[in-house]
Amino acid sequence: MRSTKFAGLFVAAARDRFDSVARQSAATVATLLFVCLACAVVGCGEKQQTALTVGQATDLALKLANEESEVLYKCRPFTNGPPAQLIEGRWVWQARQAKGQGDIEGSVKFGSNGANPNVRVLLLDGRPTSFLFLNPR
């Protein structure tokens, strides 16, 4: 009889301990879920990027076009130009500057916040091309 009473007390103590751990675990899980939800809503400290102004977009386009032109043609021809235009949620900028016997044309596109730039710089040469290198037959 004594061993049965002891076993009953042991089982009751174990059940109480298990319930206590389960409540603590549930509270911990609930806290973690709340933190994750708060991070998702707030952005978890992620910097939100806002749309650029016309002036900021134009300055960024000039900078990107000149950097690409420096790499390709060793010059920075774009000192000013038309303002960038916001077209279908993306900034678009184009300009052409005289360079030697031709022109350098720059075209820059990027997201409204300046992300994902696409830069194209071309050297345009209008001189006639000699066809002497062709083998006439």
pLDDT at 43: 52
Furthest-apart CA atoms within the chain: distance in Å = 119
pLDDT class of 111 with cuts at 50, 70, 90: very high
Q: pTM of the entire structure?
A: 0.59
Q: Measuring CA to CA, which residue among 101, 93, 107 is closest to residue 126?
A: 101
Mean pLDDT of the 113-136 span: 80
Architecture of domain 54-125: Roll (3.10)
Domain boundaries, the chain: 1-48, 54-125
Would you state the pLDDT for residue 90? 97
pLDDT at 127: 75
CA atoms within 13 A on the CB side of 43: 5
Whether 33 shows a pLDDT value over 60: the answer reads no
Q: What is the pLDDT of residue 36?
A: 41
Give 38-92 pLDDT, tens digit per residue: 545 555 444 457 899 999 999 999 999 999 999 999 999 999 889 999 999 999 9
Q: Does position 15 have pLDDT exceeding 60, yes or no?
A: yes
> Per-residue DSSP letters for 2-71?
HHHHHHHHHHHHHHHHHHHHHHHHHHHHHHHHHHHHHHHHHTTTPPPPPPPPHHHHHHHHHHHHHHHHHH
